[in-house]
Structure 1
Amino acid sequence: MAKAQIEILASTDNMSHSEWLEMRTKGIGGSDASIILGLNKYKTSFELWLEKTGQSLLEDSAGEAAYFGNLLEDVVAKEFEVRTGKKVRSRNAILKHPEHQFILGNIDRKVVGENALLECKTASVYLKDQWESEEIPESYLVQIQHYLGITGYQKAYIAVLIGGQRFVWKEVERDDELIKMIFDAEIHFWRHHVLGNIPPALDGSSAAEQFLKERYEKSEPNKTVDLAFEYKDKISTLYSLKDKIKELESRKKKIENDIKSELKEAEYGFVGNYQVGWKPITSNRIDSKRLKTDFSEVYNKVLNETTYRKFTIKEIG
């Protein structure tokens, strides 16, 4: 049995939320594990790299959901005690791996009298199916194994409040093989991408688009390059995707029009667990054509010239 060897990076007792967010840039936390392994649907490894290298603003990716999750953490922990008869206590500290100082973790609770931890979660009612089986969502599984790897604990419990009305708890055994895989990926990400300042593969996120826009804001007039041959297939795929998107947009518009035709003068319609709305929205906008024609002097004064790089593809020859 592995002996727990826990090292503390910092106490969180008197730490402000902004200070806690700043500490997250010092290493890889439990919630980062699923991102690095490509299991997180809310953030990509490229976005994480921007955050860890100080190239994007620090913020809570889950927003209001994270806020209420933190607010209800104590409620979930107390209910776990009621349901199981176990006792838990807070561990108000940022923990670190004994060998790799950049592998960090904040565990929600330590289970008293056991070599175990408790992870508290809240989930939308729409995600209830993820908790029907004995398994837990992959992103939570790697987060828990990350914590088990740091603490040396042999097991974890995860308790979740679903939709504010259903409570589920499960036991998770330590998986040393999975922990090694997680830590290997995290070590590579930190050393190669963060310390080496080498970005992960670009993805389709808005963060990647903004990164390219800012890094290559200016172009050299009339400069050309010969693209690698692989880009011929990529361009062909891009054309196919554009055609598919156009087809899907057309289908989407047809369905919307069918529903509008059914609504007629009604502002709302209901079917099953769906509510459809089609109501008037009033907004005030400047008529730029009239402003230019009737008030040309004012128009010229407020005219703001902008420059951007336009991406185009066309077949030649």
Structure 2
Amino acid sequence: MNAPMMPSIPQGDITAHNDYINDLNKSLDPRSMTGEQLWHHERRLGIGGSDVAAILGISRWATPLDIFNQKRGYVEPADLSTNERVHFGNVLEDVVAQEYARRFNCKVQRRNNPIVHDDLPWMRANLDRVVVGQKKVLECKTADAFTVKFNWGESGTDEVPDQYLVQCMHYLICTGWEEADLAVLIGGNRFERYCIQFDPELVAILLERVRDFWINYVLADVPPPPTTLDEINQAYPNDDGEKTIATIEVAEAINERKELDEQKGLIESRIKAQDEIIKGYMGTKNTLVDHLGQPLATWKTAKPSRRFNTSGFQKVHPDLYSEFTQEGKASRRFLIK
């Protein structure tokens, strides 16, 4: 199935990929690594299913720049050993897989080794399970009960959160299969199954975007454009003194920003008015309760804080002040005119 859906891949892409992997493997000795270190090393060898949503800009947990830094080894892998959400997701994965097998009268099997696409070596898949005797991927998830109504559709459909849809589609590309089931345990007591079918249009988008990210950013060692406010602030810490003409899209953003500022001012004014009523009624009392004695608000006296008198110290000890004063980093002030 791979051949009909594959775009024409320039030989230069394959060569650049192979050179990068060879250099990466030379710089690291897998034999001296722990299991976890080896797992993180293998994740740097290509794009996995959990990377795709971030590359497309639809992940809640990572950005394209995050993935770039991870693949290039510019950041240390996150320590998730104390993350309870990750911990219980791993613990319950086997429970979800076993329940899937029981409900649908089938056998499921782990795939311990990553699957690498025959023609696109940067496309890698670490599958949760496969359904034995069927060319079908099984992805196992857990979900909070209160988020389901916003992100999940009817059981049996493919209406799953976008990040999981593209993850499953990535696995279908790597395996060359046409079906993936996503089994999810919701709120710890509700099991649902969603059915993902190979989608040529979505696959074409994934192939193009993943290839562009891997070849033109990771292999070229060129950071992708920043996408979050924090990344933008870090990427452009200084101005160049020049002007730039706003596009229609940017001009619309300016207008909306002004409207939001007006709404913010109105809301802050209304909050102040309500605070005046509440605090005026409380007077010297530190707690406001309802008719059942349940707390509604508190207004308690805080302990006075101690602050260092910088200006006074400078006057009395100017030499010491100068010796221990460091120049701060330059910052840019953002103003809407």
TM-score by length of 2: 0.71
Q: In the alignment, which of 41, 51, 72 is matched to residue 22 of structure 1?
A: 41
Aligned residue for 1:123?
143
User: 3-state DSSP class of the match of 2:57?
Assistant: coil
Deviation at 1:190, TM superposition (A): 0.7
Aligned residue for 1:94?
114
Aligned residue for 2:169?
145
C-alpha distance 236-99 of structure 1, shift in aligned 2 (>3 A): closer
Between the two structures, name the one with larger relative contact order (CA 8 Å, sep ≥ 6): 1
In structure 1, distance between residues paired with 2:113 and 2:273: 55
Aligned residue for 1:55?
74
In structure 2, distance between residues paired with 1:178 and 1:78: 30
C-alpha distance 149-232 of structure 1, shift in aligned 2 (>3 A): closer
Q: Which moved more, 1:55-64 or 1:79-88?
A: 55-64
Q: Which moved more, 1:203-212 or 1:124-133?
A: 203-212
User: 3-state DSSP class of the match of 2:309?
Assistant: helix
User: 3-state DSSP class of the match of 2:192?
Assistant: strand
Q: Which segments of 5 or more consecutive residues in structure 2 lack a partner in the other structure?
A: 4-20, 22-29
Deviation at 1:84, TM superposition (A): 1.4
Deviation at 1:183, TM superposition (A): 1.5
C-alpha distance 19-291 of structure 1, shift in aligned 2 (>3 A): farther
In structure 2, distance between residues paired with 1:132 and 1:231: 38
Deviation at 1:229, TM superposition (A): 2.3
Q: In the alignment, which of 232, 246, 267 is matched to residue 251 of structure 1?
A: 267
Q: Which residue identity is paired with 1:244? A: L
Aligned residue for 1:193?
217
C-alpha distance 236-84 of structure 1, shift in aligned 2 (>3 A): closer
Report matched runs for 1:1-317 at 5 Å. Answer: 16-59=35-78, 63-129=83-149, 130-133=151-154, 134=157, 135-213=159-237, 225-230=241-246, 234=250, 237-238=253-254, 241=257, 244-245=260-261, 247-248=263-264, 251=267, 254-255=270-271, 258=274, 261=278, 265-266=286-287, 286-289=306-309, 292=312, 300=321, 303-312=324-333
Deviation at 1:77, TM superposition (A): 0.8
Q: Which residue identity is paired with 1:209? A: N
Deviation at 1:241, TM superposition (A): 2.0
Deviation at 1:110, TM superposition (A): 1.1
User: 3-state DSSP class of the match of 1:92?
Assistant: coil
On the 8 A contact 1:47/1:208 being kept in 2, the answer is no
User: 3-state DSSP class of the match of 1:311?
Assistant: coil
Deviation at 1:238, TM superposition (A): 4.7
C-alpha distance 106-253 of structure 1, shift in aligned 2 (>3 A): farther
Q: Which residue identity is paired with 2:211? A: I
C-alpha distance 101-249 of structure 1, shift in aligned 2 (>3 A): farther
On the 8 A contact 2:314/2:321 being kept in 1, the answer is no
C-alpha distance 314-45 of structure 1, shift in aligned 2 (>3 A): closer
Q: Which residue identity is paired with 1:90? A: R
Q: Which residue identity is paired with 2:72? A: T
Q: Which residue identity is paired with 1:148? A: L
Q: Which residue identity is paired with 1:68? A: F
On the 8 A contact 1:44/1:205 being kept in 2, the answer is no
In structure 2, distance between residues paired with 1:143 and 1:23: 18
C-alpha distance 63-290 of structure 1, shift in aligned 2 (>3 A): same
Q: Which residue identity is paired with 1:261? A: I
Equivalent pairs counted in the alignment come to 296
User: 3-state DSSP class of the match of 1:230?
Assistant: coil
Aligned residue for 1:6?
none
Question: What do the CA deviations read for 1:138-161 (whole angstroms, capped 9, x no partner)?
Answer: 211110010011011221111111
In structure 2, distance between residues paired with 1:77 and 1:276: 46
Q: Which residue identity is paired with 1:170? A: Y
User: 3-state DSSP class of the match of 2:103?
Assistant: helix
C-alpha distance 232-181 of structure 1, shift in aligned 2 (>3 A): closer
Deviation at 1:202, TM superposition (A): 2.4
On the 8 A contact 1:76/1:159 being kept in 2, the answer is yes
Q: Which residue identity is paired with 2:58? A: L
On the 8 A contact 2:2/2:173 being kept in 1, the answer is no
Instruction: Work out which of the two has the higher radius of gyration on C-alpha atoms and give 1 or 2.
Output: 2
In structure 1, distance between residues paired with 2:36 and 2:269: 44
On the 8 A contact 1:159/1:167 being kept in 2, the answer is yes
